[in-house]
Structure 1
Amino acid sequence: MRATPGVSGTSPIVPVSDLTTSLAFYTQRLGFTHEVGKADDGYGLVRRGALMVAFVNAADEAALAATANNISAQMWVDDLDGYWTEIAPRLADLPEGRVRAPFDQSYGTREFHIKDPDGFLMLFTQMQGGAS
């Protein structure tokens, strides 16, 4: 019998106004690595461990408004407080409302939130007790 092919992950594809700015934000502030794509292609992908985020340049104001107002992703991490400690100094100069420091949710998760330059909301999340 043939084994079922595995699935190794998923990646949101986020419309952005400036691919170069987005790639720099994720690599320099959040510690991701730039895997593929460049501004000339209009596509880029960043990765941190198994977590990936892809971007496409979008000149469409409706797509960019959707990014800022309606798109979010919950991103599961193994050591939320350790990751926060690593990146918090690089987030300190972001505009008010772009970062929410770690906090506990009543339903059993610990989270911090970050909005990227186009307003894409990331909810970095860990199950209470360390499981993710």
Structure 2
Amino acid sequence: MRRLAAGRVRGMIPSLALECRHMQFPQACPEVPVADLASGLAYYRDRLGFTEDWSDLELGLAGVSRGDARLFLADAGYRATLGNDAPILLWINLANRDEVDALHAQWQEAGVAIPWPPTAQPYKLYEFFARDDDGNHLRVFYDFGWEESG
């Protein structure tokens, strides 16, 4: 949207524009490309620990969740309209280093592809990377910058 004089937003009634500026968004639900929906569901459920909330194999779309995180898994047929494809990168922000270590151990035991263990980076993230069977990357991190700023 383009702002005009006096705080107006082009094409919007002023009261509606004000309402939109203060709107709270829910957590985003990324669409994760998978080659085969059934295989993708099995991987996210059995290796990554997500819960299958619903799926429609004919449509090529499913919803999974773990805690507050929600994802859509979409096969090639479903994604054909927009043309979005793998790989993508998902950032998973955990509450502390212990959670990062625990998830790393769980995923490593489940056989998830993880190139290196959690590491404290100079840019103030304690993180590790994982990869699903479709080449998508999961960046699991804890931002410890606030610990050093106080």
- Paired AA for residue 128 in structure 1: F
Percent identity, aligned pairs only? 25
Once the two structures are TM-superposed, the CA of residue 128 in structure 1 deviates from its matched residue by: 2.3
Q: Which has the higher strand share?
A: 1
Structure 1 residues 102-126: Cα deviation after superposition (integer angstroms, max 9, x where no partner): 1121111111111111111110111
What are the ranges of 5 or more consecutive residues in structure 1 without an aligned counterpart? Answer: none
What are the ranges of 5 or more consecutive residues in structure 2 without an aligned counterpart? Answer: 1-18
Once the two structures are TM-superposed, the CA of residue 48 in structure 1 deviates from its matched residue by: 0.7
Could you say what secondary structure the match of 2:135 adopts? coil
- Paired AA for residue 7 in structure 1: F
Higher relative contact order (CA closer than 8 Å, sequence separation 6+)? 1
Aligned pairs for 1:1-132 within 5 A: 6-59=24-77, 63=83, 66-68=85-87, 71-78=88-95, 79-91=99-111, 98-100=113-115, 101-128=117-144
Number of aligned residue pairs: give it.
119
Maintained 8 Å contact 2:108/2:114: no
> In the aligned structure 2, how far is the partner of 1:87 from the partner of 1:117?
13
Q: Which has the higher helix share?
A: 2
- RMSD of the TM alignment (CA)? 2.4
Once the two structures are TM-superposed, the CA of residue 7 in structure 1 deviates from its matched residue by: 3.0
- Paired AA for residue 99 in structure 1: I
> In the aligned structure 2, how far is the partner of 1:49 from the partner of 1:87?
16
Highest Rg: 1 or 2? 2
Structure 1 residues 39-76: Cα deviation after superposition (integer angstroms, max 9, x where no partner): 2231011111111221111056xx57x413xx212111
